[in-house]
Amino acid sequence: MSVSGGKSLAVDFTDIIAYDSELAKRLVTNPDDYLPALERAALAQLKIEDPHYAEEIEGVRVRLQKLPEDLTVSLRRLGAKHINKLVRVEGIVVRASPVKPLVAKAAFKCKSCEHTQYVLQTGMVMRTPTVCEGCKRKGPFEFLQSESLFIDYQELRIQEKPEDLPPGQLPRWIDIRVYEELVDTARPGDTVIIIGTVRAIQEVLPTAGRMRVFNITLEVDNLEIYGKDPETVEISSEEEKLIVELAKQEDIHEKIKQSIAPSIYGYDEIKEAIMYLLFGGVTKTLQDGTRIRGDINLLVVGDPGTGKSQLLRYVQRIAPRGLYTHGRGTTAAGLTAAVVRERTGGMVLEAGALVLADRGVCAVDEIDKMRNEDRVAMHEAMEQQSISVAKGGIVATLNARTSILAAANPALGRYDPNRTVAENINLPITLLSRFDLIFILKDQPSREYDSRLTEHILKLHSEGGGTVKTLIDPNFLRKYISYSKRIKPRIAQEAMEVIKDFYLKMRGVSEFAESPIAITARQLESIVRLAEARARIALREEVTADDAKRAIALMSKSLEQVGMDIATGKIDIDIIMTGKPKSLRDKLQAVIGVIVSLSKQIGMAEEETVYKVLEEEYGISRSEAANLIQQLRKDGTVYAPKDGFLKKT
């Protein structure tokens, strides 16, 4: 302590139990007497070891750690029986107040005889001396700020962890108080373990005075951040051996894929994509400070009843840090961060779902049901992986390094293969283009598939779910994912060649001006992320050509489902990037061109003449031309100045 200049000493509770179990018991039941005694003993020892330093710091803080699990109390169980006892609590920080100075030892000067005396402060209200030690009068006293001792003080709000929440219950929260070097160690979004003494604070109403009702709070003795990074999930050496052995197996990718939502039948490609999403690519920070995201975003669009929500729920449970939210009950502030007014009148930030899921996975169900102004909040999180807030006098940027797994229903209830993806989903194009992979689940009758599905579901019901054997236990898989994050695979030369060939081949279609663009640099980055994730699953330091081929195969599958121009049968990435395939854009251009050229004589074009010219010169039938004109009028590109005439806006 004296070497590092610290003021606190960490003590393992297990050591106290081993030394004297009776002392350990009393420390839990009566911390107010026993903790100060431990601190006095520590200071006495420090005076022997380093008397000079002991004089400098005046007191030693003893911080207990590694309290046994059976002393852990869940936030919703904290009650009257725990008051003034030592407890261990786990939760997630949702709000942090600014750090303020708190007086620990106040100096007062008697105005009659000018004698200075000190009063140790406890509680939240300042205590003044009752009588002067010098002249024995009852005051008046003056507070001396320069001679008083101040410590840092901060209030945090802790909420139950989402995974510990009983179904159908609202999460409980508690305000806790941290002092000295513990301030500013935890930020909103951190999962923490707190060891502290439970206190009851009396409510005071301005009119009625002191109430019978007390509020529970925690006076924190020690605070540990539990796994800000997924790498910090505790893994024993036996488990590490098992993980390394498992990774060496040839069929490791297949095993993990089959362990994802085993109760849901089929969907091989989607499960493979989810597997890559859970492991993630490598985030890179370039020399100029640019950050390239490694997290993979995935969108599943599907007919009702195809098991999308089940998949999302499973992923939320299996990810080392997973959150699930539903489009209907989600607002922009709930996704990003809300600015709330404190009791004292100041403004503080309260973290939303994307911030709480930092370094994890955020599953958003029914993303198409969200209000448009709320959905915009996700744009920045998906590409820049941060959330910028400027409201209520707070300007801040928070981390949201999260993978987003979203599910949506088709706009017309069922997916219509004759319409483009952009027309099928109620999502803005700006959001669609930020997903690495988009998959479509179509509910199409097929005798062979349906009979296997029926067998699978009936088997689940007949044996009460006992038949579903996961190859890898979900808890172990979570540890496997955490462990794999330590590995940062690099792309080998042959993998680079494979990706380059594929990209150039797909772009090669576009050498003629008329061809649609099949792929852009955004998809190229996605392929790299998928290939890195595949190497990471096998705990390999290098991305091989095989990894690149699998990533390309998955990307091609997604492009075939999503980026196919129905009119020409070619892959056209502009469907995701702009919402309209090139073939349609060309026809719209032709219609606008005809209207503009016919408008040169009288300032507007006669509708009948437009139809005639389009049929003769471009081979566009009257019904198709009417649809195109209707679309242009809807977009506001063309309007009718009077009946039977058209003009470009």
Each residue of 211-229: pLDDT tens digit? Answer: 888 888 888 888 888 755 5
CA distances 229 to 190, 233, 284, 339, 573, Å, are 10, 8, 16, 26, 35
Burial of 176 (0-12, 13-18, 19+ CB in 10 A): buried
Among 178, 223, 213, CA closest to 80: 213
CATH top class, domain 582-648: mainly alpha
- At the second CATH level, the architecture of 80-226 is Beta Barrel (2.40)
CB burial readout 454-493, b (16+ within 10 A) else e: eebeeebeeeeeeeeeeebeeebbbbbbbbbbebebebbe
Among 392, 393, 323, CA closest to 355: 323
pLDDT digits (tens, 9 = 90+) for 9-24: 888 888 888 988 898 8
**Start-to-end Cα distance in the chain:** 76
pLDDT digits (tens, 9 = 90+) for 142-199: 888 888 888 888 888 888 877 677 777 788 888 888 888 888 888 777 788 888 888 8
3.40.50.2300, 3.40.50.720, 3.30.1640.10, 2.160.20.60: which CATH number matches 8-66?
3.30.1640.10
3-class secondary-structure state, position 639: strand
Return the CATH superfamily for domain 237-445+474-561: P-loop containing nucleotide triphosphate hydrolases (3.40.50.300)
pLDDT of residue 512: 46
What are the residues whose beta carbons fall under 8 Å from the beta carbon of 43, sequence distance 6 or more? 54, 59, 60
> For the chain, how long is the longest CA-to-CA vector?
113
What are the residues whose beta carbons fall under 8 Å from the beta carbon of 174, sequence distance 6 or more? 75, 78, 89, 91, 157, 158, 216, 217, 218
> Is the Cα torsion angle 15, 20, 25, 27 positive or negative in sign?
negative
Task: Judge whether residue 336 has pLDDT over 80.
Answer: yes
Measured between alpha carbons, how far is 30 from 26 in angstroms, rounded to an integer? 6
Task: Judge whether residue 566 has pLDDT over 60.
Answer: no
Reported residue count of the chain is 649
pLDDT digits (tens, 9 = 90+) for 581-594: 677 777 778 888 88
pLDDT of residue 192: 86
**How many CB atoms are located within 10 Å of the residue 411 CB?**
17
Place of tokens 């594929």: 502
Give the rounded distance of the alpha carbon of 146 from its chain centre: 45
Helix H or strand E segment including 341: strand 337-341
Selected residue with higher pLDDT from 40 and 393: 40
Q: How confident is the model at residue 440 (pLDDT cuts 50, 70, 90)?
A: confident
Topology agreement, domain 237-445+474-561 and domain 582-648: no
Q: How confident is the model at residue 579 (pLDDT cuts 50, 70, 90)?
A: low
Q: How confident is the model at residue 563 (pLDDT cuts 50, 70, 90)?
A: low
Mean model confidence pLDDT for the chain = 82
What are the residues whose beta carbons fall under 8 Å from the beta carbon of 260, sequence distance 6 or more? 271, 274, 275, 278, 314, 315, 318
pLDDT of residue 261: 81
3-class secondary-structure state, position 404: strand
pLDDT of residue 433: 79
pLDDT of residue 145: 87
What are the residue boundaries of the structural domains of the chain, listed by start?
A: 8-66, 80-226, 237-445+474-561, 582-648
Structure tokens belonging to residue 301: 């669009």
CB 496 within 8 A of CB 547: no
pLDDT digits (tens, 9 = 90+) for 225-270: 875 554 456 677 788 888 888 888 888 888 888 888 877 887 888 8
pLDDT digits (tens, 9 = 90+) for 480-539: 888 888 888 898 899 899 888 888 887 775 444 455 566 778 888 888 989 999 888 888
Average pLDDT score over residue span 128-132: 83
pLDDT digits (tens, 9 = 90+) for 12-68: 888 888 988 898 888 888 888 888 888 888 888 888 888 888 777 777 888 888 888
> What radius of gyration do the chain's Cα atoms show?
32
Cα pseudo-dihedral 503, 505, 510, 515, rounded to 10? -120
Measured between alpha carbons, how far is 352 from 111 in angstroms, rounded to an integer? 52
Structure tokens belonging to residue 158: 């802790």
What is the DSSP code string of 88-114?
A: EEEEEEEEEPPPEEEEEEEEEEETTT-
CB 516 within 8 A of CB 582: yes
Among 410, 438, 444, 437, CA closest to 424: 410
Average pLDDT score over residue span 356-373: 84
Task: Judge whether residue 465 has pLDDT over 60.
Answer: no
Average pLDDT score over residue span 72-94: 87
**Which range, 452-461, 516-525, 538-547, has the best average confidence (pLDDT)?**
538-547
Structure tokens belonging to residue 488: 């940062």
Measured between alpha carbons, how far is 81 from 381 in angstroms, rounded to an integer? 44
3-class secondary-structure state, position 640: coil
Task: Judge whether residue 383 has pLDDT over 50.
Answer: yes
pLDDT digits (tens, 9 = 90+) for 272-287: 888 888 888 888 888 8
Structure tokens belonging to residue 605: 């074009």
For 298, list phi and psi in degrees, rounded to 5: -135, 135
Q: Percentage of residues in the chain with pLDDT exceeding 70? A: 92
DSSP single-letter state for residue 240: H
CB 430 within 8 A of CB 424: no
